[in-house]
């Protein structure tokens, strides 16, 4: 029987009056939804409104059959996102901060487990929650000016949107501990060297171009196979070898019942480009 990787629980965001449509922008074109955090004056700091809006827009992208790939980025040339909005920390205690952190964590789980691939285009500072949202995406591209890190320790707190978990899994426990304990920022080049970002571009324009190139490439791949590959790869984080291999076997065989498999194999054998229908 097919094991499914559950999607994060959906939350009703429309009821929250604090959501501003301007804080996060959305554009869907050529099968690619681009979600842009839009508070450049505040280095795209993640206040409650931004997190709620991001959740709404990631759900929108997941539900739109014309969207095949999602890109997450920040407006301007300074920041992807410089972390949680620190002004919202003031006056909060463990009880009053908890729902906010849960909401952010839920969002990272949603991004990670959604059926479509996501790319973070890191166009500047990706600190704290910014780095954590980037790590929830499947692939990270960065511009050379980008700086990444988990500086929460300098505020007397720790990462709360999965930073102690995903960073360790991406770059190894020793490097993650160094980054979380020191709170230091690292350059895009260093992030690339340790596997935190997949690719570095000379400029922000080149980053945006390279990200769209990848997104459009993925948008043409067979959607069902992409989704199942993503699920199986994600499962490697939480399943043992036997169970994960069993899952891979199940979903591999499932791809043989898709129209895209018939098209892909026929296109190869008749030496033509495949045209996938994502079915």
Angle subtended by helix axes 48-63 and 94-113, to nearest 10: 20
In the sheet that 32-37 helps form, which strands lie side by side, from edge to edge? Answer: 24-29, 32-37, 69-74, 118-122, 139-143, 199-201
Q: Looking at 152, 209, 213, 263, which residue is catalytic?
A: 152
Of 87 and 238, which has the nearer Cβ to ligand COA? 87
Return left, alpha or beta for 103; rule: phi > 0 is left, psi -120 to 50 is alpha, else beta. alpha
Tokens 């681009």, residue located: 34
Q: Any bridge partners for residue 29, and if so which? A: 32
- In the complex with ligand COA, the residue whose CB is nearer, 42 or 261, is 42
279: tokens are: 């079915």
Residue 124 beta carbon to ligand COA: minimum distance, rounded to whole angstroms: 9
Instruction: Catalog residues that contact ligand COA under the rule CB under 6 A.
Output: 42-43, 45, 82-87, 125, 127-128, 151-152, 155
Q: Tell the smallest beta-carbon distance from residue 48 to ligand COA (Å).
A: 12
Nearest-approach distance from CB 236 to ligand COA, in angstroms:
29
59 is known as an active-site residue: no
Q: How far is Cα 279 from Cα 277, in angstroms, rounded to an integer?
A: 5
Which is catalytic among the residues 132, 189, 248, 275?
A: 132
Nearer residue to ligand COA within complex by CB, 138 or 152: 152
Classified as helix, coil or strand, 88 is helix
Q: For residue 152, indicate whether it is catalytic.
A: yes
Q: Backbone dihedral region of 208: left (phi > 0), alpha (psi from -120 to 50 degrees) or beta?
A: alpha
Asked whether the beta carbons of 149 and 264 are under 8 A apart, the reply is no
Nearer to ligand COA, 75 or 212 (CB): 75
Shortest distance, CB of residue 172 to ligand COA, whole angstroms? 22
Active site amino acids = 132, 152
């Amino acid at each position: 029987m097919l094991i499914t990787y559950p999607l994060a629980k959906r939350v009703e965001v429309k009821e929250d009056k604090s959501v501003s449509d301007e804080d996060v922008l959305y554009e869907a074109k050529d099968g690619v939804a681009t979600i842009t955090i839009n508070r450049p004056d505040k280095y795209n700091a993640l206040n409650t409104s931004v997190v709620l809006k991001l959740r709404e827009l990631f759900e929108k992208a997941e539900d739109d059959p014309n969207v095949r790939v999602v890109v997450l980025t920040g407006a301007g040339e300074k920041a992807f996102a410089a972390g949680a909005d620190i002004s919202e920390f003031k006056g909060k205690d463990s009880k009053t901060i908890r729902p906010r952190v849960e909401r952010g964590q839920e969002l990272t789980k949603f991004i990670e487990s959604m059926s479509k691939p996501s790319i973070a285009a890191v166009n500047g500072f990706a600190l704290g929650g910014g780095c954590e949202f980037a790590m929830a995406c499947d692939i990270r591209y960065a511009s050379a000016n980008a700086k990444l890190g988990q500086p929460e320790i300098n505020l007397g707190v720790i990462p709360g949107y999965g930073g102690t978990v995903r960073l360790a899994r991406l770059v190894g426990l020793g490097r993650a501990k160094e980054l979380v304990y020191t709170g230091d920022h690292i350059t895009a080049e260093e992030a690339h060297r340790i596997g935190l970002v997949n690719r570095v571009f000379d400029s922000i324009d080149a980053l945006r171009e390279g990200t769209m190139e990848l997104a459009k490439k993925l948008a043409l791949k067979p959607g069902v196979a992409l989704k199942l590959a993503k699920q199986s790869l994600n499962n490697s984080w939480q399943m043992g070898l036997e169970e994960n291999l069993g899952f891979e076997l199940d979903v591999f065989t499932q791809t043989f019942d898709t129209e895209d498999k018939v098209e892909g194999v026929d296109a190869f054998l008749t030496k033509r480009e495949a045209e996938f229908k994502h079915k």
